[in-house]
Amino acid sequence: MNTCTTKITTTSQNKLMKSQAGRAFTLIELLVVIAIIGVLVGLLLPAVQSARESGRRVACVNNLHQIGVALHVYENARREFPVGWQPGGSRKAEWGWPTQILPMLEQPVLYDSLNVSTATLRDAIGDPALRPLLRTSIGLFRCPSDLTPPTLPGGNNNGPQYNRLFDCDNCPGDFEPATSNYVGNGGLNDPMPVIGSNGNGIFWSETPVRLADITDGLTKTFAVGERHDRCRSATWVGVRNPPGPDMWGSYWVRARVSMKLNDPRPINPTNSCTEGFSSAHPGGGNFLYCDGSVQSLNDDISFSNGGVTFNNNNPTYVASQLGVYQRLGIRDDGVATTTP
């Protein structure tokens, strides 16, 4: 009797287990599972993207720190910062300030190979053996958040400035200089300053800036900022031919603070973010100050060109009417400015 009962119980249990094992997900259950997974992905993805951007921003800040160290090593040896670009007169391509600090950025071989100290950028462009070196991508000049291509289109074609073609007289068609996401602070100046004018920032032509010239203070004046690919980035190589007797071509290595940070307005011949600072980081951009520190400025930083009279030489301004952004870009406006 007990044996029979045990067999019946075992048989019932086996049938129940087979029934449960053979039961599949219904369509509704499957959709619920998919929906839950979708919600979890939606919650986690922004956090992952934010963490990645945070890491890229830190790397960008580190790049600027290294550039700052190189600039101060240069200044310590020569008692002045490098000029923004080598003076060469009208319609001549010349070396920019980044080439002057290549030895301090662990690029002495590239500096020596290009003969930066003795030759001109035009010489390097015209030399088939040296021209490929101008395409060298340098990691410290590239922001990891930016999608800037490794090189810029070049050639012998004086296209309009806002097309950002690095053209020059008699340039060969295969000339394409390497890009950079960092430009020097040229200060508050006219869109088309003429050769011989003086900048009030840190990087300009002909006359180098000394520490003593930064009378507003090293912590109150920035030296280098970012340039976004949306605004056609920049290059570490130097300046191209301007299309006339002015210095439009210098925007490849410098920017002016009379253009708003991350100016959202479209690129056009008379109003272009290619002349200002811009960044791929959401909400603002990173700036290297003259003391070697790096700070982030927000898009909504106080901005005003009030009291400014632009001309093709040296603009006049009323310092008290300028925005904080403008005052941080001028080395000697004489107004106490607190960095936001």
Total count of domains within the chain: 1
pLDDT greater at residue 129 or residue 50:
129
What are the structure tokens assigned to 191, written together? Answer: 């869109």
Per the domain annotation, does 203 fall within a domain?
yes
Please check whether residue 134 lies inside any domain of the structure.
Answer: yes
Domain ranges, residue 148: 47-329
| Residue 56, domain member (yes or no) | yes
Give me the helices (H) in the chain, please.
Answer: 2-21, 27-78, 97-100, 108-113, 121-126, 324-329
- Tell me if 13 is assigned to some domain: no
Best mean pLDDT range from 116-130, 253-267, 301-315? 116-130
Window from 89-93, 167-171, 249-253, 323-327 with minimum mean pLDDT: 89-93
8 assigned to some structural domain: no
pLDDT at 310: 78
236, pLDDT greater than 70? yes
Q: Which is more confident, 270 or 289?
A: 289
In a domain, 18, yes or no: no
Question: How far is 316 from 228, CA to CA, in rounded Å?
Answer: 29
Average pLDDT, the chain: 82
Q: Tell me how far apart the alpha carbons of residues 223 and 14 are, in angstroms, rounded to a whole number.
A: 80
Q: Predicted confidence band at 190 (pLDDT cuts at 50, 70, 90)?
A: confident
Least confident of 1-15, 31-45, 149-163: 1-15
Contact present, 296 and 158 (Cβ < 8 Å): no
Q: Which of 61-70, 199-208, 238-247 shows the lowest per-residue confidence on average (mean pLDDT)?
A: 238-247
| Digit-coded pLDDT (tens) for 77-136 | 999 999 998 776 544 568 999 999 999 999 999 999 999 988 888 888 889 999 999 999
Q: Is the dihedral of CA 127, 128, 133, 135 positive or negative?
A: positive
Dihedral of alpha carbons 232, 237, 239, 243, sign: negative
Cβ neighbours of residue 116 closer than 8 Å, sequence gap 6 or more: 95, 99, 100, 102
Residue 60 lies in a domain: yes
Res 151: pLDDT: 86
Judge whether 28 lies within some domain: no
Q: How high is the pLDDT of residue 82?
A: 95
Low-confidence winner among 147-151, 269-273, 306-310 (lowest mean pLDDT) = 269-273
* pLDDT tens track for 214-232: 999 999 999 999 998 877 7
